[in-house]
Amino acid sequence: MIEKKFRRGAFSLGPLVQKLTKPIFQKRGLNEAKLILNWDTIIGKPWCDQTLPIKIRFTKDQRHHGTLYLKIDTSIALLFQHGQDVLLEKINGFFGYPAIAKIHLQQVPYFIKNKPSGKKPVHSDLPEGQKTKISHMTENIQHDDLKKALENFGHAVLASKK
């Protein structure tokens, strides 16, 4: 009889997420899931919020010199085209081989990837004692973005308990 051991405790979700998303990405032509996950790192802050990789198309039986299809805000499409050679170098440098030879732009008006949700923050609904408690719990965190995210999470959790 084979006995299975189950792992308990905390574990990394990265490998599990990659196993789940790989078939989806392959179906859409984005077998390089790293491209989407690291898009902001690859092309930089000015472009990442107004562009979105849609798919990569390769010629049959080849995995190099493909075409990257991007959604891009109409207002920056011309600027993007002028810097396209540099961006191709960045993308291919990330992959470590000439994966992309051409970029096809699909212009979309007013495209912003990370639009605000329109929800009001729940900070004002909490009593001062709870706000102080959250601030005290996060005061030793050095990273400002992480600190703000944890404070927002704390406010959301405490507000949902009402």
Clarify whether residues 98 and 22 are in a common domain.
Answer: yes
Cross-strand partners of 55: 69
Nearest-angstrom CA–CA distance, 8 and 24: 28
Q: Whole-model pTM?
A: 0.54
38 domain-assigned = yes
Q: Indicate whether 18 and 85 sit together in one domain.
A: yes
- Residue 29 in any domain: the answer is yes
pLDDT for 94 beyond 80: yes
Total of domains in the chain: 2
DSSP secondary structure of 3-32: ------S---SHHHHHHHHHHHHHHHT---
Range of the domain at 91: 14-108
* pLDDT tens, residue by residue, 33-68: 778 778 888 888 778 888 888 888 888 878 788 899
End-to-end CA distance of the chain: 50
